[in-house]
Amino acid sequence: MSQGDCFFDDAELNLYLDSELGRERQGTLDTHIISCPVCARRFEVPHNLKIRIKDICGKTRAPESLRDSTIKALENSQAGVFSGFWDAILAAFKGRPLVPVTLAAALVIIFCGALFLKTESSHGESLVSSMVHEHNEYLEEIDADNKIVSTDGPEIEQWIVANSGITLKLPYDKGFSPCGACAMTEDGRKITGLFFGDSQNRISCFMLPGDISEIGTPGAHKIKDMNLCCGKETGANYIAWSSGQTVFILVSRLPEATLLNLAENLI
């Protein structure tokens, strides 16, 4: 699968935030982030967090005596440098309770921000948003190392069974034209993609291990005793449900009613 111009991982995102990437890669991501809503969201939270921390820290200046004491402590002999350093720190803080409070507040913001980022990336961001992102990758063609490009429904069914163990009866005789499938691994989880139609009319069906709790609370739609989660993400409609240990996620820019019709034929 082509990675395109997206962030490779969180490590590269952090380098980008600090402008520590090479000029060419930094420029490529500057341009890409404007048109990629998934990467824009990944960038927005830590970027805003850095601005907030910088704003808080910028409003509080350490006393000059702390700077002088720290320099003097570092100039002491190696044997007594640590005790002198901490004595200088304690002396600088004495009578200035707002300084340690401000530092503690900054640490709390950093800690909470890290937890927030982790939560965002482990739930909706890693499933619904990521699957919408994958769908956008396959709007024009199926670009993956392990794939089948075919309009033969039975052939695609056999390929999916062989590559994922998932048995499906495709509704190719009910107005939905399959065009292929692919298999990939993201974050250690095997994902099977099934595709109908082409270009902007493409519908992607992603199948991966998990349960519906990773998507959200089931909505008002119910098909064949199956509760479905429905929603809209960065301009694309999605419908999700789970069967056994497999989560199914339909994604398309087509109307929700079209996705519900396909879901009814797949369930």
Does residue 73 surpass a pLDDT of 70?
Answer: yes
Neighbour tally for 174: CB within 10 Å: 10
Distance CA 261, CA 132 (A): 19
Mean pLDDT of the 123-136 span: 75
Q: Are residues 153 and 245 in the same domain?
A: yes
pLDDT of residue 40: 80
Q: Does 79 score more than 70 pLDDT?
A: no
Q: Which two tokens stand for residue 110?
A: 């950093």
pTM of the model: 0.57
Find the CATH number of the domain harbouring 160: 3.30.200.100
Predicted local confidence at residue 207, as pLDDT? 95
How far is residue 55's CA from residue 40's CA, in Å, rounded to a whole number?
22
Question: Among 37-46, 106-115, 180-189, 198-207, which range has the highest average pLDDT?
Answer: 198-207
Question: Percentages helix, strand, coil for the chain, rounded to the nearest 5?
Answer: 55, 20, 30
| Residue 265, CA distances (Å) to 152, 174, 175, 182 in order | 17, 8, 11, 20
Which residues on neighbouring strands pair with residue 74, listed in sequence order?
none
Alpha carbons 83 and 81: distance in angstroms, whole number:
6
Residue 240 belongs to a domain = yes
pLDDT above 60 for 100:
no
Q: How far is CA 13 from the centre of its chain?
A: 12
Give, as one character, the DSSP assignment of residue 64: H
Instruction: Please give the residue range of the domain that contains residue 244.
Output: 142-266
Among 88-92, 104-108, 167-171, which range has the highest average pLDDT?
A: 167-171
Give residue 253's pLDDT. Answer: 92
Higher pLDDT, 249 or 129: 249
- Reported as half-sphere exposure (CB side, CA atoms, 13 A), residue 168 has a value of 33
Mean pLDDT of the chain: 79
Task: Provide the pLDDT for residue 128.
Answer: 83
Domains identified in the chain, total number: 2
pLDDT at residue number 99: 54
Residue in the structure block whose two tokens are 């056994």: 244
Task: Count other C-beta atoms under 10 Å from residue 152's C-beta.
Answer: 14
Residues 76 and 148 in one domain: no
Does residue 165 fall inside a structural domain? yes
- The verdict on 146 and 255 lying in the same domain is yes
The more confident residue out of 2 and 150 is 150
Based on the fold, state whether residues 98 and 163 are members of the same structural domain.
no
Element (H, E) at 71: helix 64-75
Cα–Cα distance, 247 to 214 (Å, whole number): 9
pLDDT score recorded for residue 147: 96
Give the residue among 240, 210, 237 at the shortest CA–CA distance from 228.
240
What's the pLDDT score for residue 84? 59
Q: Are 243 and 261 in contact (CB under 8 A)?
A: no
Half-sphere exposure of 223 (CA within 13 A, CB side): 18
Q: What is the mean pLDDT of the segment spanning 89-113?
A: 62
Residue 14 within any structural domain of the chain: no
Co-location of 157 and 88 in the same domain: no
Determine the pLDDT at residue 165.
92
Q: Is the pLDDT confidence value at 104 over 80?
A: no
Together in a domain, 209 and 156: yes
